[in-house]
Amino acid sequence: MKPETADLRLEASDELFERFTLVVDKGQEPLRIDKFLSNRIEGATRNKLKQAMTLGMVTVNGQPVKPNYKIKPLDQVCIYSDVSPEETEVVPEKMDLTIEFEDKDLMVINKPAGLVVHPGSGNYHGTLLNGVAWYLRQQNPSLTEEVLPRFGLVHRIDKNTSGLLVLAKSDVAMRQLARQFFDHSVKREYHALVWGDLQEDRGTIIAHVGRHQRFRKKFEAYPEGEYGKEAITHYQVMERFGYVTYVRCVLETGRTHQIRVHMKHLGHPLFSDDTYGGDTIVKGTVYAKYKQFVENCFELCPRQALHAKTLGFVHPTTQQEMNFDTPLPSDMEQLLAKWRAYAAGFKKE
């Protein structure tokens, strides 16, 4: 279901749904909304629209409507649409999953670093969704590979980022969770180790995030908003170690590589981030002892030091507040311990 003028490239978002807004013309005659939208949206049949409305994915002036609702002049119509990556068969594969919570509607999983979330170009096996498919088939052996729910994915985190991820187990739960992610009501807190000593104890980074104009596998911050999509990251210093800083980042939006790109834009790339320049010595005097210390730290945590620590949302069925917190993985815990010891020794000198 694609509005004719919309750009549906999933270019800079970890949230796998998009929202499209239409404002009804002043001279519009009363007309059933399913008919109105089927005439306005490329590929949208009235049956598809009815299904979307049943799931609450079409609103008028902020309220869900039924197919027989008659639009009025200046009504603001919003359609939430799935813009997930290209369909790829999800083959069930046995995998150890750390499931923090599960009920009939959803699963909350603590993803380890190094695990790709969904199958795609170059990663057709060994992804989190392959493991989830196997797990769900054990619960219900009648599930076929064709119906195993790739649709359960409403957001994602980078391969080398660890932490919490929620997956829906029903179509209704998926749509409700997707709306929360898009409306920025989901609470997401990440912990990171970044290069340098941040000037302020707390702050907000506002800069669009979009693909790099030359290197298409990377993303870039565009503070003037000339490319990409709006991105907002709030940060707070938790500990200072001189040459590196331990920070908490709260996402207001969820763009691909958002924290990594925003912290680089601020002049503080994530420690050990080999995509955005954090895998070399960025701060500190390069003498043999310090260089060896940093290299040991890179070996201890050979990926960007970023963990999706907390996740909060409203349960799609019970409407209860759900909040999850997970401890830092051992590689980041050990990394912080080494920097604490180094900073303490440095102060004594």
54, 72 contact by CB (below 8 A): no
The domain made up of 17-82 has a fold known as 3.10.290
DSSP letter (8 states) at residue 69: P
pTM summary value = 0.81
The domain made up of 99-182 has a fold known as Pseudouridine synthase (3.30.2350)
**Residue ranges covered by each domain of the chain:** 17-82, 99-182, 187-348
Residue bearing tokens 């909350």: 108
Residue 19: CA count within 13 A, CB half-sphere: 20
Q: How far apart are the first and last CA of the chain?
A: 64
Average pLDDT over residues 52-59: 79
Local structure of 338: helix, strand or coil: helix
How many percent of the chain have pLDDT more than 90? 55
Tell me the catalytic residues. 158
DSSP letter (8 states) at residue 216: T
Q: Each residue of 190-228: pLDDT tens digit?
A: 999 999 999 999 999 999 998 888 887 899 999 998 888
Confidence of residue 79 (pLDDT cuts 50, 70, 90): confident
Average pLDDT over residues 265-291: 94
Tell me if domain 99-182 and domain 187-348 are identical in fold.
Answer: yes
Per-residue pLDDT, 280? 95
What is the rounded CA–CA span in Å between residue 62 and residue 192?
36
Local structure of 312: helix, strand or coil: strand
Per-residue pLDDT, 14? 61
Average pLDDT over residues 341-349: 74
Q: Each residue of 15-53: pLDDT tens digit?
A: 666 667 788 988 888 999 988 888 877 667 777 788 778
34, 85 contact by CB (below 8 A): no
Task: Read off the tokens for 6.
Answer: 């919309």
Average pLDDT over residues 236-240: 98
Per-residue pLDDT, 174? 84
Residue 108: CA count within 13 A, CB half-sphere: 18
CATH number of 187-348: 3.30.2350.10
pLDDT above 90: residue 113: yes
What is the rounded CA–CA span in Å between residue 320 and residue 125?
35
